[in-house]
Amino acid sequence: MDFVSDALFDGRRLRLLTIIDLFTRECLGIVVGQSLKSHDVQEALTAIARFRGNPDVLKTDNGSEFAGKVMDRRAYERNIEIDFSRPGKPTDNATVESFNGRLRQECLTENWFLSLADAREKIEAWRTFYTQVRPHSAFTWSTPSDYARKHAVSRGKQKQLEPDFSNSGWT
């Protein structure tokens, strides 16, 4: 998990929370708002866990939204390890940093956001494209969704509608 900042057309602040599956590189969610707090992080994690289950590990930086009591309690109650990157070492969380670079290059710099609703719509469309349509060289030019399905089948889970990666980590 990480945050990305941008702006609406009129200069008002725009903040995005990105959540990536470390194994499949699927973008599980992008929360878009003007001011995101730890409560927003919790809501996003709860929504994703409803269809994905809880991860074993959450990899993130030491930002106040991730390092506070609310996140500690959530992790403790769900037996989730929080793996904080070292201060000033973005390479500790290279997967999300790479994703955020693609998000900025392919979506944020290519779009003009007229409102918060417009930003949410365009960013969600790009997230869906990135996860379900855009091929990735790391997966021999498969999409993250295809890679997730192939992995689920190889583990004997082909009867599930959604693959179970509850033992994976999110960043």
Decide if 166 is inside a domain: no
Decide if 152 is inside a domain: yes
Residue 162 has pLDDT above 70, yes or no: no
Give the C-alpha separation, 58 to 170, whole Å: 5
Q: Report, as an integer, the average pLDDT of 157-162.
A: 42
Q: What does the pLDDT read at residue 139?
A: 78
Give the C-alpha separation, 48 to 53, whole Å: 7
Q: Tell me, what CATH number does 131's domain have?
A: 3.30.420.10
Q: Report, as an integer, the average pLDDT of 24-35.
A: 94
Please write the tens of the pLDDT for every residue from 6-18. Answer: 999 999 999 999 9
Decide if 164 is inside a domain: no
Decide if 168 is inside a domain: no
pTM here? 0.84
- The domain tally of the chain equals 1
Sign of the alpha-carbon dihedral angle for 66, 69, 70, 76: positive
Decide if 117 is inside a domain: yes
Determine the structural domain holding residue 40 and report its residue range: 2-157
Give the C-alpha separation, 19 to 44, whole Å: 9
Q: Taking the mean position of all CA atoms in its chain, how far away is CA 27?
A: 5
> What percent of the chain has pLDDT above 70?
89
Q: What does the pLDDT read at residue 169?
A: 65
Decide if 69 is inside a domain: yes
Q: What does the pLDDT read at residue 16?
A: 97
Element housing 14 (H / E): strand 13-20
Decide if 165 is inside a domain: no
Please write the tens of the pLDDT for every residue from 47-101. Answer: 999 988 999 999 988 888 888 888 888 899 999 999 988 888 878 888 899 999 9
Decide if 13 is inside a domain: yes
Give residues with Cβ within 8 angstroms of 113, minimum separation 6. 6, 7, 8, 9, 14, 119, 122
